Structure 1
Amino acid sequence: MITKNNFDFIRVLLAFIVFVGHLGTLSASDELRILQYSPIEIAVFGFFVVSGFLIARSYERSSGLKSYLEKRIRRIVPAYLLVVFLCAILLSMVSTYSFTEYFSNPQVYKYLFWNSLFLNFKAPWLPGVFGNQAVNGALWTLKIEMSYYFCVPLLFLLFGKNNKYRNTSLVVMYFLSLIYLNYFESLHKISTAKQLPGTLSYFIPGMLIYFNFDWFVKHKNTLFLLQSLRSGLI
């Protein structure tokens, strides 16, 4: 049984990498420009791998589907909605529109409506804020997380413990997801590539680590060496 872990440390580290990278990019400061080379994408997808592990564990430990969904929804939805509404209210103070013009603009309510449904791409900006650019581009990751939450019961049904071909099946799904991801990236359709079919290629390794945790721990040094060679670190 897994009783101790460093997932909190890992998530804080990944969040810090994303913060540093965005600080370098969004500040438009020459002094901070070097920070934009922070591996943001690796960190973001690292979150998905961790989620693959933790959500698989959460589902397996839940007493039933209802209990699992209640825990998952409570974990994200209240805080997510708070961020969406606070952004809409507080960013009115930095908008180029007056207070009255800002809240009279239908874009504010489109933003609240679509973002409340996790469809951030439908209305990512607020009037007069950041030159009408996306005000919180990172919210797209939570849409992917929520989609994965609802996929997990199906993945367990198909590839759960009672399936002797579980690992093989998940590896096949992993490569199919990777093909989807690379195909749309090759067409420069990055938004499409980052939808759930593509991002499953990050969640599934987390699931595989969870299902085969003892094996991964036993061979962790060899796996780290292989990954280091692949990454060109040594």
Structure 2
Amino acid sequence: MTRTVLITGGTSGIGRAIAARFAADRAEVFVTGRTPDTVERTAKELQVHGVVCDATNSAQVEALADRLGALDVLVNAAGGLAPATTAPSLDALLSRWRADLAQNLLSAVLTTAAVQDKLTGDGSVISIGSIGAERRGGSYGAAKAALAAWNASLSAELAPRGVTCNVISAGYVTGTNFFRGGMTDDRHRALVEETHNKRPGTVDDIAGTAHFLASPGARHLTGQTIHVNGGAHTTR
């Protein structure tokens, strides 16, 4: 039976890799992004449905939900790091925090709230978190930490319906636009050195974990934050 999958922020990086993984399974995949040209190109290349939608805009999210029927998998992959500012004003600080919270927390909250009644009885909500929630994350890390806390309450709400809710906390992943060209060779080496397996993560590492979390083998796994970082941050 064909599954229907919605992936916000599905036009690049981790979101695109997840879309490609589900599309390879012959799922009916919807990807969203804010830029029409990028959405159209991704839809054509991956042979999926593309929808222009800013996941921080409640009206656009509501319109997106109206387009969908029954939904099996929601992946909240929209997010990113707000542009850095050196301005010393409180207004600049407030703007930075609001942007990171909107992109990395509220985008998931709004999208999930809009479509949760469409989720099937064996559905899955998967949100992309970050190792930044555990250390040195600033406003971005705080937003990702809040994402994990929200996920735990969401799981308690939706689990009685059979819907699982989990966060994938990604470590350093290459093949994305996250660092906006600011990654240096020294920084790359330092991040790789922190891992146990001495390699950076890939978008396919995260896509594979997302695919598993939406599989029959993960039906008793919910309310969790799954750390995918090569051992750079460990739990017990």
Q: What is the TM-score of this pair, normalised by structure 2?
A: 0.32
Larger radius of gyration: 1
- Greater helix percent: which structure? 1
Q: What is the TM-score of this pair, normalised by structure 1?
A: 0.32
- Greater strand percent: which structure? 2
